[in-house]
Structure 1
Amino acid sequence: MLLVSAGCFLLFGNRFSTLSAQIDFSHVPAPATSESAVVYARKRRRGKKKQESQDVPEVAADYSRFSSNNQRDESIDQQQQKCREHASRLGHTILPAYEFEDRAVSGTKLEREGLNEMLEAAKQGRFNVLYLYSLSRLARESVITLPILKKLVYVYGVRCICVTEGIDTDTTGWEVIAAIFALIHEQFIKDLSAAVIRGQEGALLSGYSVGDWCFGYGSEPVPGSEQNRAGRNSKPRKIYVINTKTGSPRRSERKNGSYTR
């Protein structure tokens, strides 16, 4: 019985394979998987986006900044000049209407008038290439620098070029280079802050005023002390004196190069 059943199965399988071989399935299209469709669609969209970007003319802009009132206004002009020179070598022209700036504003601040104006112009698509003399002009904190830079590139479609660091967001791996320099510029601010505190401590230990005093006291400059100070606009050092206008004891008098009550 088993042998008969096995023979029937073999006969049926042979007959089915013969019939299937005689049927032509070439006219029936093979079903496309969802994965292949997605890949093809993505390739088409990317190609279309690249084609559209090639048809848009490049309009260049720059952003400049300096952080302290002790710096000269010429700093902005010098940064803009370097950006214009670099832009010219790459075939771009920066018009005055697209030169954004912030004067005497710290790079650790997120809200800046010139920065906000530049970002709004980028959002509106008024320019698509941005020049920076240095990445530190954009910000001095990496948590501010990198999000702004990525928004400009990936959201607004702006090509960003940093003159001194050689960063160009049109090149592969620019994110790594930008992240490294952002951390370097951030560390510079931390080192500068520590140096300022160290200098103030030294001035206090030497008997000089650093701009703070308690009620009843003030400060006055020491003539000639500016000659021993470095800097372009060096100012004389000051010492603490009693302020007579507050009703405190009479002002100190200078004797033998020092002030006494």
Structure 2
Amino acid sequence: MSQLGIDWTGWLQRWDDQQAGYLPDREEQFTLMLEIVERLTGTPERFVDLACGPGSISARATTRFPGAAITGVDLDPFLLEIAKQAVASDRVRFEEADLRAAGWDGVLGDRPVDAVCSATALHWLDPADLSTLAQTLAQRIRPGGVFLNADTMRLGPTEVPRLDALAVELRDEIWSTSHANGVEDWATWWKAAAAEPAFTDLLAEREERFRDRHKGRDITLTDTVEAFRKAGFAEVAVLGQVADKHLFTAIR
């Protein structure tokens, strides 16, 4: 227990369990992600958990890279509070920033970063937002540094319609099987959070912050590859895939 008598670590674990219902090998994906970071960059000195939510990647990075300075970035005030309370370390700081806003990367400081990792978050962006984000990251990640994103990326309903539809079908079957076996889903997790009186103000702020945010079409894998190639990343590839969930990797 900590501030407000809330078991913040428990809420982070509950989030991880809920998210694993959408990607059953999520823990293995995180392990692979950090392994790729180390193999490509060595032990990172400056590591960024982008759209960090409650700090799932940050928590694992503190263990894997005990000497790294880690920055988690997100806009959600509620999930950020979980991160701040549950991933307490003098090597980790969590910053509020809107990835759609110009200059958001000021929270990263002046020095280049070695690695930027994200998971199950950037699909909320529009393709144009992703392109701008790639350009920003190209300026912030040092040459030879790496960006990784484990997330849903459609294969392309116009480019490969049958394969895209099959990938979505397989993904939906994974989700339905997980939830049929009793794994908590996204809506139930948020309903439980709303039932906790200590979260009322944070959730009200969250509701106001995201009230008018518009999202266009889904980001495709092609969008992602093209955005990071155009931004000047030297190599881009998928190093893991389950249905339409990809572990996208880009070397600066």
TM-score above 0.5, yes or no: no
| Greater relative contact order, per chain length (Cα 8 Å cut-off, separation 6+) | 2
**TM-score scaled by length of structure 2:** 0.29
Q: If each structure's strand is expressed as a fraction of its own residues, which one has the higher value?
A: 2
**TM-score scaled by length of structure 1:** 0.28
